[in-house]
Amino acid sequence: MRIGVLFCTCGGTISEKLDLKKVEDFAKTLEDVVIVETTDLFCEKPEEILEKFKGKIDRFIFAGCSERSSLKMGEDKLSSLLENIGINRAMFETVNLREQCAWIHDNRDGATRKAMDQLMMSYVKVKTNIPQGSVKLAKRALIIGAGVAGMKCASDLAKVGIEAVIVEKKPYIGGKTSMIPMLFQCEGYASMCTSECIIPVMGREVQKEGIKLITNAEVVDVAKEDGNFKVKIEKKAMMVKPDKCVSCGKCAEVCPIEIENPFDFGLTKRKAIDKDFSLAMPDSYTIDAEACNKCGSCVSVCPTNAIDLEAKGEIIEEKFGAVVIATGFEGYDMKKFEKLSYSHPNVVTLLELERLIKNNFGGKVPESVVFVLCQKDEVGYCSKLCCPITAKLAFRLAALYPEMEVTVVYKNLRTYGRAFEEFRRKCEMQGVEFVNSEVREIKAENGTLKVITDEEIEADLVVLADPLVPSAIKLMKLFGVKLDKYGFPIEFQPRIITPMETYVDRVYAAGMARSFKDIQESVESGSAAAMKVYEALKDGEKKLQKYVSMVNSDKCIGCGICRETCPHNAISVDENLKSKVNPGFCKGCGLCTSVCPTGAIQVMNFEDWQLMKQIDVAFSHAKDGEKRVLALLCYWCSYAAGDLMGRYGLKLPANFRSIRVRCSASVSNWVLLKALMENKVDAILVAGCPPNNCHHLYGNEMEDKRIASLKAIMPEIGLDENSLRWEYVGVGMWKKLADVLNKMSS
């Protein structure tokens, strides 16, 4: 074992606050330390400085600024630099001499003694670390859903050399966008573009090299294997071969069976063999298997022998390195609102109105149309798009049919942005009436619909702005994606800067499958998801992070609690009823370790005994009689708050030591009790992310409850319950953290 130690004075800001020479001399006395170097500004020329260590060490300690909060030398940059000189990313530790020592302590002697203890804590840790390897990833992405988001994602990936496989449930691509004749052109302009232009343009992009399109198919099963997704796809029988069909239409001419066309909500008819709409892509006729009687008339007239009425479906099993779920949206079941009379044939939804306008109302144009907004109070959220779509459609009706009376009844009108507000103004200019009122009932009388508000409004047609709902709940659960209470995917924390990312590594949600978006926003999210996939798969491998859970199968009893607790769906139970961690998906949060009843599962490089080794030496240089306060601060929030205490000029006594733990829930009761019962410390603070902001979804709440339970029994085993404390501490709550530590130190 050969350990190198590098001290940085940070331009003197560290060395002026503590006796760095004394700490350096102490480092040289430590066993297996073969090089100790000091520099003034490591971040100025790191490659040159690290060359001194190349080939001479296999472990490294950096003593300087915070690996969590440094604006110049964060842990990712440092680990990358170390890899360049042959040091595995798991084989280094840092000593936070700046933010949580020099900057917050005015007592030079106390700061120096603390610095030596901090060095010792990193030293005993780095000696026990285990190097991490990597897993090979398939440079292929599965995109589920061939709407505009899915198509854009696939085309962008193909351009950068990542194979994209699109699985689409319907026989055609374009999703619901193809059902909407006129689209918002963009957020900034109150103009429209036709889907008959957009869908073919995007459709041609996904029929190029590097993209495999599987229509009439669904994902039916998913397994994780060596860091990849092993996916089963059920493809229904294709009785018309798309590669042979020339869309001549002769088959439909002779087909004796006519059915309602679901693409037009039954407003038009189609044959059992037909195209759903004229520009459907792939450019091929399809057969409705339930309607077809296999009479064979179509087979006899097909000029290219494209029809096989005995074709069978198949199960396709393929491996992917990443998954993008882009399954679009569904409309709310409006039959649940009995007062709105959706079962009446002249009460329709917004999408149904799109098809009515496209088909000129079947020749029976209504004289009066009333739009009804909104049902957000009943469903619990605002769908964002209902009001803008209503404004667009009301404007279209008023422009196409100047004699038509168009009324919009609303409770809260939210035409956000420049374009949608302009649509609303154009509606008013066209004579559309906006009525701010509550709809109490819609009823039919004497062939006319009556919308009952504070007054009665008569209408030939009522259009309900139906709330939008997630369409992929079953699919999301299949991939282990965590959902909110409404069924939408919860994005990985911090959500503001990790859009599209779910809690399952390399599973992304795009378009309306993620949240409410108009067409352009969905296209943008498809591109964003492609960038995420490219970043994950470009190297064809994933370097395992420093902290990954592992299972001791001899101790495992196969209870599966760890699997159910894991927010990242990285754990399975094998055929021998033993838990198994897939390291390619593990985020190293440690929630699994905190719930394992036998201690069979531990986080590699953050095992309980390693944490205890750090605690054993944490106060080696503390003054006799000085209160010893240990702060176990979570990796993401509370440790950063600890760094900000110094950056914002707060001062604390030098008798506390902090350890950057994984999620706060990774701290086991065994460690807490052992530290207190063996008199290693006098008081312990465990701090995690604020409520509803845990990086690992619910780890902070788990730890809060666990510590509350532990404190309840502490008096029974002779411990002061006040010696253990839990706090929710966000990054910006540095003042609260300082107050708590000051109080605990007194």
pLDDT of 684 strictly over 80: yes
Span 332-468: which CATH code?
A: 3.50.50.60
CB 561, CB 597: distance < 8 Å:
yes
CA 311 from centre of chain:
39
CA 581 from centre of chain:
20
Q: In terms of Cα–Cα distance, which of 538, 537, 550 is closest to 583?
A: 550
Classify residue 708 by burial, with Cβ atoms within 10 Å: 0-12, 13-18, 19+: exposed
Number of helices (H), then strands (E), belonging to the chain: the values are: 21, 38
In angstroms, rounded to a whole number, what is the distance separating the alpha carbons of residues 690 and 729? Answer: 6
Span 548-604: which CATH code?
A: 3.30.70.20
DSSP helix/strand/coil, 161: coil
Residues 19-31, mean pLDDT to the nearest whole number: 97
Span 1-133: which CATH code?
A: 3.40.50
pLDDT at 185: 72
**DSSP H/E element including 702:** helix 699-713
pTM listed for this prediction = 0.94
Which residues sit opposite 656 in a β-bridge?
A: 629
How many other C-beta atoms lie within 10 A of the C-beta of residue 594?
Answer: 23
Q: What is the pLDDT of residues 305-332, one digit of tens each?
A: 999 999 999 999 999 999 999 999 999 9
pLDDT band at 347 (very low <50, low <70, confident <90, very high): very high
pLDDT band at 446 (very low <50, low <70, confident <90, very high): confident
Place of tokens 């190297």: 539
- Token readout for 369 is 């149309």
Which residues contact residue 29 at a Cβ distance below 8 angstroms, ignoring those fewer than 6 apart? none
Alpha helices in 430-483 (DSSP H): 473-478
DSSP helix/strand/coil, 687: strand
* Domain extent listing, the chain: 1-133, 140-235+319-328+471-537, 250-312, 332-468, 548-604, 606-746
DSSP helix/strand/coil, 178: helix
Residues 719, 720, 726, CA angle at the centre, nearest 5°? Answer: 110
Share of the chain above pLDDT 70, in %: 100
Q: What is the pLDDT of residues 483-540, one digit of tens each?
A: 999 999 999 998 889 999 999 999 999 999 999 999 999 999 999 999 999 999 999 9
Which residues sit opposite 369 in a β-bridge?
A: 406, 461
**Amino acid sitting at position 570:** A
**What is the phi/psi pair of residue 476, to 5°?**
-60, -45
pLDDT of 738 strictly over 80: yes
Q: What is the pLDDT of residues 402-426, one digit of tens each?
A: 999 999 999 988 888 888 888 899 9
pLDDT at 416: 84
**Do the domains spanning 140-235+319-328+471-537 and 332-468 agree at the CATH topology level?**
yes
Q: What is the pLDDT of residues 249-271, one digit of tens each?
A: 999 999 999 999 999 999 899 99
- Token readout for 469 is 């709902």
pLDDT at 667: 94
Alpha helices in 5-68 (DSSP H): 20-28, 46-50
CB 139, CB 319: distance < 8 Å:
no
Span 140-235+319-328+471-537: which CATH code?
A: 3.50.50.60
pLDDT band at 575 (very low <50, low <70, confident <90, very high): confident
Q: What is the pLDDT of residues 41-94, one digit of tens each?
A: 999 999 999 999 999 999 999 999 999 999 999 999 999 999 999 999 999 999
Q: Fold for domain 606-746? A: Rossmann fold (3.40.50)
pLDDT of 32 strictly over 80: yes
pLDDT at 191: 78
Total length of the chain: 746
In angstroms, rounded to a whole number, what is the distance separating the alpha carbons of residues 403 and 367? Answer: 7
pLDDT at 187: 67
Classify residue 698 by burial, with Cβ atoms within 10 Å: 0-12, 13-18, 19+: middle
Q: In terms of Cα–Cα distance, which of 10, 21, 12 is closest to 112?
A: 21
- Token readout for 242 is 């798309």
**What is the phi/psi pair of residue 711, to 5°?**
-60, -30
**Amino acid sitting at position 593:** T
DSSP letter string, 311-352: ---EEEEEEESEEEE---EEE--GGG-GGG-TTSTTEEEHHH
Residues 645-654, mean pLDDT to the nearest whole number: 95
In angstroms, rounded to a whole number, what is the distance separating the alpha carbons of residues 392 and 413? Answer: 13
How many other C-beta atoms lie within 10 A of the C-beta of residue 60?
Answer: 25
Which residues contact residue 425 at a Cβ distance below 8 angstroms, ignoring those fewer than 6 apart? none
CA 96 from centre of chain:
31
- Token readout for 117 is 């203890």
How many other C-beta atoms lie within 10 A of the C-beta of residue 684?
Answer: 24
Q: What is the pLDDT of residues 188-225, one digit of tens each?
A: 677 788 999 999 999 999 988 999 999 999 999 999 99
Q: Fold for domain 250-312? A: Alpha-Beta Plaits (3.30.70)
DSSP letter string, 214-268: E-SEEEEEEEEETTEEEEEEEE---SB-TTT-----HHHHH---EEE-GGGTTSS
